[in-house]
Amino acid sequence: MLTKDKQLTVLQVGTLNQPIRPDIGYGPIESIVHSIDKGLHAAGHRSIVACSGDSLVYGEHCVTVDRSFGSYWSDDTGEQRAATQAHYSRALRRFKRGDIDVIHAHDPKAVEFLYDEARIRQVPIVMTLHVSVKESRLKGAYERWCDPLLAPLVHCASISEYQKQQYHEQLKASQVVYHGIDVEDYPFKTRPARGSYLFTIGRLTSDKGQREAIALAKRTGSKLIIAGCVQNKAADRKYFADLKPSLDLIVDAGAGPMGDDYYARVIKPLADSDHQIIYIGEINSAQKKLWYLHAQATVFPIQWGEPFGLVLVESMACGTPVIAFSKGAVPEIVAHGKTGFVVDSLEPLIAAANRIDTIDPVVCRSHVRDRFSLDAMARNYVALYHRVVPGRRPAARSSRLLPDVLTLPVLQERIAT
């Protein structure tokens, strides 16, 4: 149990693409923000999350706007820009109460917005690097944040050794902190699901390799279930259109209530059907856990250097082994020959699929519990916080508290004045 003098007050500034909650479909950053909040709260720290009102958090919920955008790709409208400004402004207001030990950001724009006030108050900022270096626009900002004449205020955490290496010319990452999940939230099997379907989940785009997964299924005669969203990007829409002729069935397996009968009502009929290649659309967190659970293997034939790959961890937590291409952080996450197979091309992928039943589901789950649990992630972030917080002092408690909830119209009015 943590002693009082080691308790920290952490302000996480969430993103607005999706709500911070555990039951969403596609929300790779939001799910991690939620997990960090849960882990900090469970470890006895004071966790504060600045995020939208439709979020569900374990610690203090600092509501910045009424609702999230509900999508990772949408038009850049004046309303969204106003909401983003309101979000950061409300987070800054919460920070100014003076009781924060460390800010944890997940977006460079959040760091930029809070940096000057954090510098004045000498409160460190930890920023998780969620995206690849090609998608990052950090270089100029990082040079300002880390003036060599001053003690560093911003401390970047990479999510894999691969990502840390990719960023090495642009910035110095303080630490690698692997993403973690609450393993007990995932159902698991103790025996291989012999003869079941192959499963692949992720945004439908060429980088994720759904075309290669289809090629694998056709070569091995396996049934393939494809899950994931199609974002409103021209390239993704074209990719899906090109993929459609290879799909034998398109259904919306995410529609309607989950219910205890979801497996019998949705999964089993599709698994037993004569259709080989089935696209089931975007599914939520509870639904995907069942799809993982009943799969023979999860296929992850990515075509780019993915900085992490939460799909891999989620699948193994359910006892379902992974067949993946050796790109990005995959070799760090999947233990080749023990929790799945990591290969370089289609032919070895086919060979791996034919011997996937040699993988022990219990070993898969133990691997996640040992290396990628929520507790491990929280411990590693807490260690980083303690290292960067000056004197590891407990936060001062301010008696001048601001209202906990401000709606978007009120925030826009205050910003305008």
- Average pLDDT in the chain: 90
Determine the pLDDT at residue 365: 98
Query: In which band, very low, low, confident or very high, does the pLDDT at 25 lie, cut at 50, 70 and 90?
Result: confident
Question: How far apart (Å, rounded) are the C-alpha atoms in residues 251 and 339?
Answer: 30
Determine the pLDDT at residue 400: 35
Determine the pLDDT at residue 150: 64
Determine the pLDDT at residue 117: 96
Q: What pLDDT digit, counting tens, does each position of 288-326 carry?
A: 999 999 999 999 999 999 999 999 999 999 999 999 999
Determine the pLDDT at residue 405: 38
Q: What pLDDT digit, counting tens, does each position of 73-114 carry?
A: 666 788 999 999 999 999 999 999 999 999 999 999 999 999
Indicate if the pLDDT at residue 149 is higher than 80: no
pTM, to two decimals: 0.88
Question: How far apart (Å, rounded) are the C-alpha atoms in residues 80 and 27?
Answer: 18
Determine the pLDDT at residue 397: 41
Highest mean pLDDT among 65-74, 180-189, 393-402: 180-189
Question: How far apart (Å, rounded) are the C-alpha atoms in residues 293 and 193?
Answer: 9
Query: In which band, very low, low, confident or very high, does the pLDDT at 213 lie, cut at 50, 70 and 90?
Result: very high
Determine the pLDDT at residue 33: 97
pLDDT: is 394 or 206 the higher one?
206
Indicate if the pLDDT at residue 249 is higher than 90: yes
Determine the pLDDT at residue 391: 65
Question: How far apart (Å, rounded) are the C-alpha atoms in residues 27 and 266?
Answer: 23
Determine the pLDDT at residue 169: 78
Report, as an integer, the average pLDDT of 152-161.
Answer: 93
Query: In which band, very low, low, confident or very high, does the pLDDT at 10 lie, cut at 50, 70 and 90?
Result: very high
- Report how far apart, in Å, the C-alpha atoms of 124 and of each of 170, 235, 319 are: 20, 39, 39
Domains within the chain, CATH numbers bracketed:
4-180+373-416 (3.40.50.2000), 183-370 (3.40.50.2000)
